[in-house]
């Protein structure tokens, strides 16, 4: 948040700096033209997230998680640059595969309560909210994360899946949308998306898809 405030306060004095490289960027652009040009746009192909014996989840992201896309995702998450959610949602909406964002409700990936308190916001919720405004889809903030936080670093995929199983659930009193589109900022192993899908399906969702702003290569 401080970064965003400082940026705003300095705006009349200096042209806005690119979030990725620090060069001057246009007044309305978070990235300079060079970093914009270097964005790793992915095709509209969806990837299938799978875990043993479960329904696969179709997932899609417009960008590879590197360069400018990585810088924007990190600035939103760690520097509190919440206005970037608008830019990121615009990029998602503009290049989404046909049919993906036509129907369903947008479900943000939940953040552990302790982490949310520390950060002050959930970046996935900001992104889902901006995407809802842009697409007209409803926002269904119905999931929560429970259990000890634990770190995901240094764990392999199976360990992460096991740790997440049961750690995501539908909030008490909330209902799972019939068609859910789970929204996160970054898609890495897919373990989190699968845990969300599992919770939604067991609470009655009939279709679950996943959308992220960026994904790591090979995913
Ligand atoms: Zn740049």
- Report the distance separating Cα 212 and Cα 217, nearest Å: 13
| Ligand 1 ion: Cβ-proximal residues, 5 Å cutoff | 18, 20-21, 23, 32, 35
Q: pLDDT value at position 141?
A: 97
In a domain, 63, yes or no: yes
pLDDT of residue 51: 77
22 CA distance to ligand 1 centroid (A)? 6
- Span from the CA of 13 to the centroid of ligand 1 (angstroms): 19
* pLDDT per residue as tens digits for the range 79-91: 999 999 999 999 9
CATH code where residue 93 lies: 3.40.50
E-strand ranges in 13-142 read 47-49, 57-60, 63-64, 105-108, 138-139
Tell me the residue range of the domain where 192 lies.
Answer: 43-215
Distance from Cα 5 to the centre of ligand 1, integer Å? 20
Confirm whether 32 is domain-assigned: no
How far apart, in whole angstroms, are the C-alpha atoms of residue 91 and residue 131? 10
Centre of ligand 1 from the C-alpha of residue 217, in Å:
21
Q: How many residues does the chain have?
A: 219
93 contacts 134 by C-beta, under 8 angstroms: yes
Q: Is there a domain that residue 27 lies in? A: no
Q: Which residues does the chain have with pLDDT short of 50?
A: 11
For residue 20, the CA-to-ligand 1 centroid distance in Å is 5
What pLDDT, on a 0 to 100 scale, did the predictor assign at position 86? 96
Spatial separation of the C-alpha atoms in residues 186 and 211, rounded to whole Å: 9
CA of residue 182 to ligand 1 center, whole Å = 30
| Residue 78 lies inside a defined structural domain of this protein | yes
pLDDT score at 155: 63
- Those residues with Cβ within 8 angstroms of residue 76's Cβ, 6 or more apart along the chain or in another chain: 82, 84, 85, 88, 123, 126, 127, 185
Q: What backbone torsions phi and psi does residue 155 show, to the nearest 5 degrees?
A: -105, 145
| DSSP at 54 | S
Task: Give the closest residue to 177 by CA, choosing from 136, 132, 140.
Answer: 140
Cα 21 to ligand 1 centre (Å): 4
- Say how many domains are in the chain: 1
Report the 10 Å Cβ neighbour count for 101: 20
Tell whether 140 is covered by a domain.
yes
pLDDT in tens, 14-25: 568 999 999 998
């Amino acid at each position: 948040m401080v970064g965003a405030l400082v940026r705003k306060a300095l705006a009349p004095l200096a042209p806005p700096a690119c979030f990725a490289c620090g060069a001057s960027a246009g007044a309305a652009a978070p990235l300079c033209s060079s970093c914009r040009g270097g964005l790793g746009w992915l095709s509209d192909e969806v990837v299938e997230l799978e875990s043993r014996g479960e329904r696969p989840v179709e997932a899609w992201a417009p960008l590879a998680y590197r360069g400018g896309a990585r810088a924007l995702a990190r600035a939103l998450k760690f520097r509190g640059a919440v206005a970037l959610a608008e830019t990121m949602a615009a990029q998602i909406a503009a290049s989404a595969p046909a049919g993906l964002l036509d129907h369903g409700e947008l479900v943000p990936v939940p953040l552990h309560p302790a982490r949310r308190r520390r950060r002050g916001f959930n970046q996935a919720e900001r992104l889902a909210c901006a995407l809802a405004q842009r697409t007209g889809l409803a926002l269904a903030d119905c999931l929560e994360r429970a259990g000890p936080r634990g770190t995901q670093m240094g764990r392999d995929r199976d360990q992460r899946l096991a740790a997440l199983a049961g750690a995501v659930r539908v909030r008490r009193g909330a209902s799972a949308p019939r068609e859910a589109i789970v929204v996160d900022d970054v898609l890495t192993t897919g373990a989190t998306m699968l845990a969300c899908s599992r919770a939604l399906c067991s609470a009655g969702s009939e279709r679950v898809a996943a959308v992220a702003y960026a994904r790591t290569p090979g995913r």
